[in-house]
Structure 1
Amino acid sequence: MEELVDEDDVRAYIAQGFTHDKISDLLTGQFPSVRGFSARSVRRYCKEHDIHWTTPVTDDELQREVEKGVEAVGPTYGRKTMKGYLATQGLYGIGEARVGRALKEAAPEYHQSRQASAARRANPIPYYAEYFGHKLHIDQNEKLGMYGVTHVAAIDGYSGKLVQTATMPLKNNQVIYRDVFRPVALTYGLWDQLRVDHGSEFLLTLFVQESLSAQRTNTSRECYVQSDSRRNHPIERIWGEVNQRVNYPIKAALNILVEQDALDLTDEKSKFSVSSVAMETSKVGMARFVDSWNMHPIPGRGTPDFIWTQQNRAAPIPPYAVPSLHEAVLAYEAATGGTLVPPHTFGLDVLAHSPAKTLEREQQMRHNFNLEDIFSRAVNGDGTLLQQAVTYHRRLTESLL
């Protein structure tokens, strides 16, 4: 065992919460013709190399870290996702039960709310993905669409790993290709099959997926499938989490501005201001959610990040083979005779033609507002800082004209 097993790998297994029996099964599967990977051998190996599940974090220290976590991500993170969030902060190997107790103590009202809404509906539609790289699901979320915020995410169907997200003012073919599909291909490779709904915003992405399809791991599969949005279920289930943990708190704060006639969505300059602030705020929440999600434990399998490292069969592709946005647009328009709408803003940016004034606005916004504070307060039910930032952005833009 000493000669074949990498100590870092065993430490990673333990960090994911795997038992000695589970690690024994994994090693036996990796080395089927080799003896000596019994649970007893694994236990002895861990003892000799000082590898333990136990963590030096005391209950008091854990309580403080969980309280910080609740402040950062709000009321909807349960023990699994909070454990993932803590891992992003460098705290590994903490049992779910401990995290659950700390969550209950940190915010009893949040705990009761989660308990009351804990009726999780199991997905009734059979779903199967064979390995990481089999099915890639991409979809858009427009719950904040009226405020100029659209999220697009890509998730691997086998591991549940969110491999890319992007936030944009309006869904757009070029932005989705540039900020979602192309980074995924360059970072991970090509999936056997891309699955999207029937929206026209994926035309460029589907065109490039098809043009590269000969380089996939399994070329016998259809290179893409378009289906009803409700059947794109791995990504649809993610949106429920994103709505609760990112979109709804932001939307609630912005709705108050509209109800109080402090935000006029018929005014193009106001639309640009609310979109700019809401997008940057939601990016904070999305980044926290994605990192936490990819580190949350899946019973018996590990985290999405861990599963990816064990079953990665996405087909590597050299960077030069993945067309740039400009190359992809030219190829698509030449092949189809169609025209793709270029990226555009939500509302009107009256400073767009003055880089110096645009920079001055960005600097003033950063000086007066901290996006992480804005999100943390909004997700915990206090949207006043977000509202102030939107109003300030609008007035600042006017003053710089």
Structure 2
Amino acid sequence: MPVLQWLNPDYVQGLFESGICSTVEEARNYICESYPQQKSFTSHTLLIFLNQNEISYKKPLSKEELEEQVRIATSEIGGVAGRKAMQGYLRSKNIHASQERISNAQKIVGQVYFENRRQDAQRQLNPRPYHATCFGYNLHFDQNEKLVEYGIVFVMAVDGKSAFITRASIMPRKNNITIYDQVFAASVVDFGLWDQTIQDCGREFFLSIFIQDYLKDFRVKPNTERSRPPFRQVTSCKNNRVERVWQEVNARVGFPIKFAFVEMEENNMLSRLDLTHMFATSIVGCSVARVLYQRFIDGWNNRSVPKKLIPAQYILSKGNFILPAGTLPTAAAAAELYRNCDGRLTDESQFGKDLLSASPEKQERRDAMFWEEINTTFGGIENIANYTTNNQYHLLQQAVIKFIEIGLFVASQ
């Protein structure tokens, strides 16, 4: 007798083909959460359904294959990531395995890392209950200045319901126009307008707040009234939805880069009083940070959360307000609107001092020579990132020194 007759076989097949689910257990949990009005069923019942409808699902990786994939991923994102973060990162690469199998693989390929995580299991918890009705209800912004003294600033936006990182950016100095263009506007282009944005009282978010308020009437759906303010400015402790993410970013992106630069200072290879040195740390450090930052985001957005969906899966039922074409101002248009309302904005500027700032031709030559060196001698910026996240700092340090040396060489020509 056919089972689960209400369930569409094509829908189930799509779960496996799209990579949303890789095991029968995952598919069962996903379907039960997606159809709460239907009676719950067991994994065995779903397996019978798969057999009856000739639906195939991916064969699990062997123990050896999974260990090799975990070994490669560890070289790319470091050993700070636990089984959940590792599962998310592997899932972003279309590699699927249970957390238990991943944990066992991590014990084998990175025993030292595993013990360090076990001894440091305390996690920052949300101090207050938080509620968001859907993806698109709240968008939380924040910036991180752990590396600001080296010309590296992190900014990100996080959806309140799912904790999905919608957009993130790295810049030499926090800047209203850059944050609007690369974080706020980019998030709205990808997903639509959020009902409310939440950020601290920093001036760097003023342009994004201004445009959120400027577009507030587009939040109102037909035959409804909207009384919620379009934005809220709160203290950091009340913006915990995004604040807690920084703990992970610092461990996997910020601190390894900072340790490399601090070690250079201690060995008199770098001086914060020399602005040309700081220009080099900003250029090279931002490049390495972008690689590690994106890897972190890929893993975070695809990780499994207990009793909830994978963050990326919430997008399927998002409640964002889709703006008509041409409604969202460009960065230049937004800046002009803000300035016309007596607002003041500063254009993005470099960090430190570029010896070649007066000669664009020499800047172009230096950059070409440097990146050629990075790709041929250092194995590419991704390779430098791999070493840095695994606490091997020599490649990053040598890259900074090489940038300084090439700049001095071109300046002397």
- Aligned mates of 2:9, 2:59 — CA distance in 1: 27
String of CA shifts for 1:207-265, please: whole Å, max 9, x gaps: 00000011125732110000001211011110000000000011000001111221121
Where structure 1 has 5 or more consecutive residues not aligned to the other structure, the ranges are none
Instruction: Please say which of residues 143-152 and 38-47 is displaced more in the overlay.
Output: 38-47
* In structure 2, distance between residues paired with 1:288 and 1:251: 18
Q: d(CA) in 1 for partners of 2:326 and 2:402?
A: 44
- Residues 1:224 and 2:231 are matched in the alignment: yes
Q: Does 1:160 align with 2:163?
A: yes
Q: Distance in 1 between matches of 2:28 and 2:66?
A: 28
1:58 match: 62
1:361 paired residue number = 366
Q: SS at the partner of 1:103?
A: helix
Cα separation, 1, equivalents of 2:23 and 2:312? 10
Once the two structures are superposed, residues 284-316 of structure 1 have per-residue CA deviations (whole angstroms, 9 ceiling, x without a partner) of 10010000111101123221111222x300111
In structure 2, the CA distance between the partners of 1:111 and 1:3, relative to structure 1 (3 Å rule), is closer
Matches of 1:24 and 1:71 in 2, distance apart?
A: 34
Aligned to 1:133: 136
TM-score between both structures, scaled by the size of structure 1: 0.92
Question: Aligned partners of 1:126 and 1:37: how far apart in 2?
Answer: 28
Determine the C-alpha separation between the residues in 1 that align with 2:215 and 2:118: 47
Say whether 1:79 aligns with 2:106: no
Q: Are residues 1:98 and 2:108 paired?
A: no
Alignment of 1:30-49 (within 5 A): 42-47=46-51, 48-49=53-54
Note closer, same or farther for the CA distance 1:6–1:249 as it changes in structure 2 (3 Å cut).
same
Q: Does 1:116 align with 2:119?
A: yes
User: Residue by residue, what CA displacement relative to the aligned partner does 1:173-224 show, whole Å, maximum 9, x if unpaired?
Assistant: 1111111111111111111110000001111010000000111257321100
**1:44 Cα deviation after fit:** 3.2
Asked if the contact 1:24/1:37 (under 8 Å) is kept, the reply is no
- Aligned counterpart for 1:70 among listed residues 63, 70, 74: 74
Partner of 1:325: 331
Work out the CA distance in 2 between the residues paired with 1:378 and 1:224: 38
- Of 338, 346, 355 in structure 1, the residue corresponding to residue 343 of structure 2 is 338
Rounded Cα–Cα distance in structure 1 between residues aligned with 2:30 and 2:183: 35
Q: 1:372 aligns with which of 372, 382, 407?
A: 382
Task: Please tell me whether the aligned partners of residues 13 and 56 of structure 2 are also in contact (alpha carbons under 8 angstroms).
Answer: no
For residues 283-362 of structure 1, the aligned pairs below 5 Å read 283-309=290-316, 311-335=317-341, 337-362=342-367
Write the distance in 1 (CA, Å) between the matches of 2:100 and 2:362.
52
Give the CA deviation at 1:400.
1.2
Q: Are the counterparts in 2 of residues 217 and 313 from structure 1 also a CA contact under 8 Å? A: no
Q: Residues of 2 paired with 1:267 and 1:97: CA distance?
A: 49
TM-superposed deviation, 1:393:
0.5
Spell out the pairing of 1:195-234 with structure 2 (5 A cutoff).
195-216=198-219, 219-234=226-241
| CA–CA distance in structure 1, aligned partners of residues 400 and 142 of structure 2 | 28
Secondary structure of 2:146's counterpart equals: coil
- Offset from partner CA, 1:291-348 (integer Å, 9 cap, x none): 0111101123221111222x3001111341010111111111111x132011101012
Identity %: 30
Measure, in 2, the Cα distance between the counterparts of 1:183 and 1:62.
35
Question: Is the aligned partner of 1:396 residue 2:403?
Answer: no
Q: Which runs of 5+ in 2 are unaligned?
A: 1-5, 375-379
- Separation of aligned partners in 1, 2:290 and 2:354: 20
Indicate if the aligned counterparts of 1:24 and 1:38 stay in contact, CA closer than 8 A: no
- Measure the CA separation in 1 of the matches of 2:370 and 2:321: 42
Q: Secondary structure of the residue that 1:248 maps to in structure 2?
A: helix
Cα deviation code 1:345-372 (max 9, x no counterpart): 1012232343333232222222222211
Indicate the SS of the match to 1:301: coil
What root-mean-square deviation, in Å, do the aligned CA atoms of Structure 1 and Structure 2 show? 2.1
For residue 363 of structure 1, give the secondary structure of its aligned residue in structure 2: helix
Q: In structure 2, what is the equivalent of residue 252 of structure 1?
A: 259
- Give the 3 Å change call, closer, same or farther, for CA 46–301 of structure 1 in structure 2: farther
Comparing 116-125 and 15-24, the one that deviates more? 15-24
Per the TM alignment, residue 66 of structure 1 is displaced from its structure 2 partner at its CA by 0.5
Q: Could you say if the C-alpha distance between residues 18 and 364 of structure 1 is closer, same or farther in structure 2, counting changes exceeding 3 Å?
A: farther
Equivalences for residues 136-151 of structure 1 within 5 A: 136-151=139-154
Report the Cα offset of residue 3 of structure 1. Answer: 5.3
Once residues 192 and 318 of structure 1 are traced to their aligned partners in structure 2, the CA distance between those partners, rounded to angstroms, is 16
SS at match of 1:137: strand
Contact 1:150 1:167 in 2 (8 A): yes
Summarize the Cα distance change of 1:169–1:58 in structure 2 as closer, same or farther, 3 Å threshold.
Answer: same
Is the alpha carbon distance of 1:106 and 1:3 closer, same or farther for their aligned partners in structure 2, counting shifts above 3 Å? Answer: closer
- C-alpha displacement at 1:24, in angstroms? 4.7
Secondary structure of the structure 2 residue equivalent to 1:80: helix
Q: How far apart, CA to CA, are the structure 1 residues paired with 2:56 and 2:356? A: 57
